[in-house]
Amino acid sequence: MTIDAKAGWSQETDVLPLVELSSVSCGYEDRIILSDVNIVVPRGSVVALMGTSGGGKTTVLRLIGRQLSPLSGKVLFDGQDLEPLSRAQMFAARRRMGMLFQFGALFTDLSVFDNVAFPLREHTDLSEELIRDLVLMKLNAVGLRGARDLMPSQISGGMARRVALARAIALDPDLIMYDEPFAGLDPISMGISARLIRELNDALGVTSIVVSHDVEETFSIADHVIFIANGRIAAQGTPDELRHSEDPLVRQFVTASPDGPVCFHYPARSIAEDLNCAQGGRSA
């Protein structure tokens, strides 16, 4: 075992990481979102990306799926630089990735069954009989085989998230990315979703990247947590290490404290100056 200088945590020296961001900077037009970021995601692990809103967590997922290209640096998937890939090669790489979008993003006009069957019909030449068997197996894995004929409008938010998870694993991907999988869920659904992420990761032998703000549920399933703030990696380590971190920003996030580096007030001049200017404007 060695400690990777970029990732800062232990991994096998002879095992190629499934995902690696090497000195990556990116942004939208003239706005830089990530600056010189290095991330290593070993195979079989559950890695959580956490941090304040707008820090660049979801941007990392977009880089891995190449919805966004880096301004500098490389994004590697299974050792392959994604940037020079052709359209066909990129589509082949994406078939090895499953994505659970925030709030599920199910097709509203398709049944639960057809939502899960969609990627199989779109990307394979399997018979409908075999697709049926695969869909029922995936739905059974998330506990919703009995809901296969329902429409998205007929199921709860937590159930919709599980259907979306069944769809994400339909093609047996090597990587599953989760964008806020616990948002808007009640405590029971949240616990079920967290358990499913961990159990499916281990049972299927996949690698998972979880973007989340929910500290307790995420810490309960993650092998490693990367804390992103202001476009950089502010801290990383095991959940226990981050729980006991002395970094002010990490401590404020983990403890949900209102006081800390993240201020309540947006930067502005003093209220006395604003009030004086307002009074001067009225008198004028």
Q: Tell me the domains of the chain and their CATH numbers.
A: 2-96+173-283 (3.40.50.300)
Strands 72-77 and 80-81: what pairing? antiparallel
> Residues 6 or more apart from 259 whose CB is under 8 A from it?
252
Q: What is the pLDDT of residue 96?
A: 92
Tens of pLDDT, residues 193-222: 889 899 989 988 999 999 988 888 899 999
Greater confidence, 27 or 47? Answer: 47
d(CA 109, CA 111): 7
Q: Both tokens of residue 141?
A: 């894995």
The per-residue pLDDT for range 52-107, each reduced to its tens digit, is 777 788 899 999 999 889 999 999 999 999 999 999 999 999 999 998 887 678 89
Query: Which of 46, 38, 43, 41 is CA-nearest to residue 15?
Result: 43
Position 271, amino acid: I
Say if residue 262's pLDDT is above 80: no
Give Cα 37 distance to the centre of its chain.
16
DSSP secondary structure letter of residue 205: T
Rg of the Cα atoms in the chain: 21
